[in-house]
Amino acid sequence: MISGMRIAGSVVLLVSLASLAASAEAWSGSPDPARGERLYATCSACHGAAGMGQPEGPAPVLAGQHETVLLRQFADYRDSARWDPRMEHVARLRAFADRDDLADIAAFLSRLDAPLPADIGSGADLAEGARAFVGHCASCHGATGQGDGARGVPRLAGQHQGYLRRQVLDAVEGRRPALQASHGARFKSLSAASLDGLADYLSRNLRRVDPVPPR
């Protein structure tokens, strides 16, 4: 059963890499953020006019996310490597079959600064979360959670805490296969308090808050 799931997972990954490569070939290479802003009208019903998502965090903040990350996640929904009925529907609309459209939207979103505060946590596990972040996550996601566009590492700073918690739980419980494959062991070792604290710490957007030093 487990090996069957692994094989199915690798097939999905291969298919999604193949389609990414195919769409990369069709891309003209000079994204147009102004055109992306117009196309973003389709997305704003859920992700908000300013790219801030929904306040309680069902739809994530997209403002300020790296272009590489936006394109990769969108392709994952389209290619069934990430599951959400709303996003799978949007990602399969004919309008977004053209990679230029998405590249333009991603160029628009990545240039937006997150103007509003995200949904943050209670503060109870903040110090624990900061320690967990510095110890287990900052090496890739950056000292302030800013991610790394060139390496395809998502910005996590300023993301809604409810959304972040749900992504980690989805990965641990097998609903986000690509994230489970890359992060499974890392996430499984987190206590409930570390997870609450991590999501809270990141949601506060470390560009504006001094990081809590490790103990």
- Terminal-residue alpha carbon distance, the chain: 42
Assess 186 for contact with ligand HEC (CB under 6 A): yes
- Chain-centroid distance of CA 101 in Å reads 19
Tokens of 96: 């977004």
Q: Please say which residue, 28 or 189, places its beta carbon nearer to ligand HEC.
A: 189
152 binds ligand HEC (CB under 6 A): yes
Which residue among 43, 120, 157, 206 contacts ligand HEC (CB under 6 A)?
Answer: 43
| Distance between CA atoms of residues 16 and 51, nearest Å | 26
Cα distance between residue 24 and residue 214, in whole Å: 41
154 binds ligand HEC (CB under 6 A): yes
Q: Are 174 and 136 in contact (CB under 8 A)?
A: no
Size of the site for ligand HEC (CB under 6 A): 38
Query: Using CB under 6 A as the criterion, which residues of the chain lie in contact with ligand HEC when the complex forms?
Result: 42-43, 45-47, 58-60, 62, 65, 70, 73-74, 82, 84, 86-87, 90, 96, 105, 136-137, 139-141, 152-154, 156, 164, 167-168, 178-179, 182-183, 186, 198
